[in-house]
Structure 1
């Protein structure tokens, strides 16, 4: 999204609420550049490349400002963007606005772990930006009469810090190829951390390693890994953790939650549309029906290395409409499926049940008692162990629930800061409830939003 404003516009955005209050939330990338140097060439081409890939871009024309403070819409855009792309050109340091923006980007980077700066050196060397030559030093000297010593110092520190970050130099590469590299790197960084996981993850590491082994990082084949086990055991959480760790290694990624529920509601087309939009990074994908969706998936993804998670499948046709065959995807692709029951994945030859060769299976079992107590305690007591007076009742609850992570989280959360009478009441009800009934209740809880540990 481009933003070109004059002083009156700036004043309006900083003094009123409404739409501009939330504009920063719309952006993935903030482009920082000196307009006369690159606005009508390199920066314009880069903007359209990023925008065409479905990336939300704030492209700001700093040359039209007359004020001396960053505020309003611009401040929010910087604060809320995930990736900053400063384009260092020969006259970049002559723009006080560029330098102010750069300082604020560096400050945001220092305060956050999920932001990044990707510098581009356009007809300059990193050594110039680090103030190793007179190019930027002379430009900064011209600001001495207008700006304080402290502000000039912050500008110099920001330039030196950002110039030390690995970026791109356009000296030995064509602009088209450079723009392609930048766009791909932005897509790679934005693909990280797609799946949100619970705050307290107990006993997940061994499961993650086992699934990683089945995925086979360096194998060029297309592989399906099926995570299966009873409801509430932690299949979705495991899939999210694995997805977050390896998403950056793929050209396109998609995590489709609750496929079974969408299927029951007749919304598989919606999932096909989402899968294509996320993998191709395009909002213009419009699937009309399931057949056209199948054709688009196998036609548009067959040369891409993709990572897809299909969460909570229970029928073969759900898989058939989203990721049925290996040749739908490029070499090295991985499809992770979570399901309670793997029987629908079997194929039959001469009345003998078997699974396709491309499939790897991982069954999740119940948590060990020590880990289950620790998980329950995190939610019930905000501690790794229960208080001595609650040790016995904690162990009884863990035993009754069978060590199911979802049960431990839901029940532990409900008992946090509860009276002794409340604990006794819950335990009494659980004792009267068969194990299967506990699971059925938890399935209902999942559908209402507590599904991250299912």
Structure 2
């Protein structure tokens, strides 16, 4: 039986029980455990005697839960009559109900209730994880990335492992981290996803981040500390025996890692820490166990992602729009952020407006994209900015040794400067050809910004 849309349902779980003997002990403990783990659960509070009819609010709750409506209607015969022309659908219902009836229940026997309830919650979390996972139709070209990333994370190993996801802005680091977090979190005793660590740290400070890290793991905790050193002590003490999953998104300072995840012995065996950043050197400094670098999308996947954003689900693009789409995709350079922003911007507009937008993009890059990508440039020292701008404008594709000589003559100290740019995912150097190139250009000579009275190019 097909599962209805998530947005239509109010409850994840319908808690069915009979008898006052369980209401205030086992059922109550199970309900509380489900609630603490973020599982929206319905429990009927009014007293129901044996054989009594189901209260209207209870019936409504069942219909709004993940239980299919067909399972709770008064008589299956009514459905057979209503859908007598669709025998295949009726048979699917029969099969589903038979499967439910044959499902083996769990027995407590002599086990501890807390352990038994913990297993139930884990099982339900795993099922809901499959239901609530991000729609993969919109995660174009992500499957191979996930496979490689899962192999590096390797949740089967009983060690504490730190994995870095490193790449330029807009490449999909956060999306990858969220998908992995959603899929593997049921395998851990606690989980915490810290979004945009750079921004939150700048605005609220590291102590706030430490408390934010602990809150979803220690649900009943009262974190009475006021500086990072006390926070370090609390994290290491409270989590040293817990198998946890932690994601630190958009990290740009080694202090973030030192204050939030410190040493590996702060966490229990089997723990996994995932760090997303634009700075490869930061990951190397922290000595991560492994690193994954997402790549831009190929032409086929780029077109698919763009079309998902630019056209309605039931719209088939005309030949004219197909050609225009290819122009936009070539401009985007396979960068997921650019494809999504431009697709959403052009959605619902006619072909003439598309042509006008494409011509404008040749002169003025999309501000939303530039604002996201310029973060990398703004974080550079002055010499690195100058090196980057010179390479992007004048030395793209040139031999590394030649570029080094020219820049050295300008006292830019290119040996360290170029390494900073490579680690920051702003330029790349093909190992065997030893040629430098910018990773993604967002302005040509006509739309170069003025930076200290010289032509500049901003990219990430």
Residue of structure 1 equivalent to 2:160:
222
SS in 2 for 1:253: strand
Residue of structure 2 equivalent to 1:137:
none
SS in 1 for 2:217: helix
Q: Does 1:70 align with 2:17?
A: no
Q: Which runs of 5+ in 1 are unaligned?
A: 1-23, 83-104, 112-146, 152-156, 348-354, 446-453
What are the Cα deviations for residues 111-160 of structure 1, in whole angstroms up to 9, with x where unaligned?
9xxxxxxxxxxxxxxxxxxxxxxxxxxxxxxxxxxx99979xxxxx9997
Cα contact 2:166–2:291 (8 A) shared by 1: yes
Residue of structure 2 equivalent to 1:421:
352
CA RMSD of aligned residues (A): 3.9
Q: CA deviation at 1:307?
A: 1.4
Matching residue within 189, 199, 218 for 1:251? 189
Work out the CA distance in 2 between the residues paired with 1:409 and 1:222.
35
Residue of structure 1 equivalent to 2:23:
39
1:306-321 maps to which residues of 2 (within 5 A)?
306-321=244-259
Matching residue within 198, 211, 235 for 1:260? 198
Work out the CA distance in 1 between the residues paired with 2:135 and 2:12.
21
1:100-179 maps to which residues of 2 (within 5 A)?
105=67, 107=69, 162-179=100-117
Residue of structure 2 equivalent to 1:410:
341
Q: 1:43 to 1:333 in 2, by over 3 A?
A: same
Q: 1:288 to 1:425 in 2, by over 3 A?
A: farther
Cα contact 1:254–1:309 (8 A) shared by 2: yes
Residue of structure 2 equivalent to 1:97:
none
TM-score by length of 2: 0.65
Matching residue within 313, 325, 335 for 2:263? 325
SS in 2 for 1:254: strand
Work out the CA distance in 2 between the residues paired with 1:438 and 1:41.
54
Residue of structure 2 equivalent to 1:378:
308
Residue of structure 1 equivalent to 2:394:
none
TM-score by length of 1: 0.65
Q: CA deviation at 1:162?
A: 4.5
Residue of structure 2 equivalent to 1:102:
none
Work out the CA distance in 1 between the residues paired with 2:69 and 2:201.
46
Q: CA deviation at 1:444?
A: 8.8
Work out the CA distance in 2 between the residues paired with 1:108 and 1:227.
45
Q: CA deviation at 1:267?
A: 4.2
Q: CA deviation at 1:414?
A: 1.4
Matching residue within 277, 281, 292 for 1:339? 277
Q: Which runs of 5+ in 2 are unaligned?
A: 1-8, 79-94, 376-459
Work out the CA distance in 1 between the residues paired with 2:125 and 2:160.
22
Cα contact 1:34–1:63 (8 A) shared by 2: no
Residue of structure 2 equivalent to 1:60:
44
Moved more, 38-47 or 306-315: 38-47
Q: Does 1:397 align with 2:328?
A: yes
Work out the CA distance in 1 between the residues paired with 2:75 and 2:72.
23
Work out the CA distance in 1 between the residues paired with 2:294 and 2:115.
45
Q: 1:63 to 1:314 in 2, by over 3 A?
A: same
Q: CA deviation at 1:40?
A: 4.2
Q: CA deviation at 1:169?
A: 1.0
What is the number of residues matched between the two proteins? Answer: 351
What are the Cα deviations for residues 397-422 of structure 1, in whole angstroms up to 9, with x where unaligned?
22222111111111112112212221
